[in-house]
Amino acid sequence: MVTDHYTYRITWSAEDGEYVGLCAEFPLLSWLAPKPDEAFSGIRQLVTDCLADMLDANEPLPEPLADRTYSGRFIVRVPPEMHRALAIQAAEQGVSLNRLVSARLANSI
């Protein structure tokens, strides 16, 4: 069973005073540990155990985000006044609305 294709994140929890391991494909799971590498090991083991349980129960396994195919298209609904403001900015910059928004998203990542 391959668990390394899943999307893991380790972050600090000020509330718990420990690192927390998370897995995007299993949003209800987390693992607390005093060190980042322990949080990572813990969440990976927890996901492995969860996958084994799901297999035993003949439940479908979540597809890893990394293994999915993406079209590069998605629709976003925004308020009309934001749409207008973005369209004006795109026109003033001489670019398409798509290019303006794509560039802004790229800069925010």
Give the tens place of pLDDT for each residue, 70-109. Answer: 999 989 999 999 999 999 999 999 999 999 999 999 999 8
The answer to whether the CB of 29 falls within 8 A of the CB of 22 is yes
Kindly state whether residues 28 and 76 are assigned to the same domain: no
Kindly state whether residues 55 and 83 are assigned to the same domain: no
- Residue 1 confidence (pLDDT) above 70: no
User: How big is the CA angle at 63 (ends 69 and 23), to the nearest 5 degrees?
Assistant: 110
Q: What is the residue range of 91's domain? A: 70-108
Is residue 2 in some structural domain? no
Kindly state whether residues 19 and 33 are assigned to the same domain: yes
Query: How many independent structural domains does the chain possess?
Result: 2
Is residue 3 in some structural domain? no
Kindly state whether residues 18 and 52 are assigned to the same domain: yes
Kindly state whether residues 14 and 60 are assigned to the same domain: yes
- Residue 4 confidence (pLDDT) above 90: no
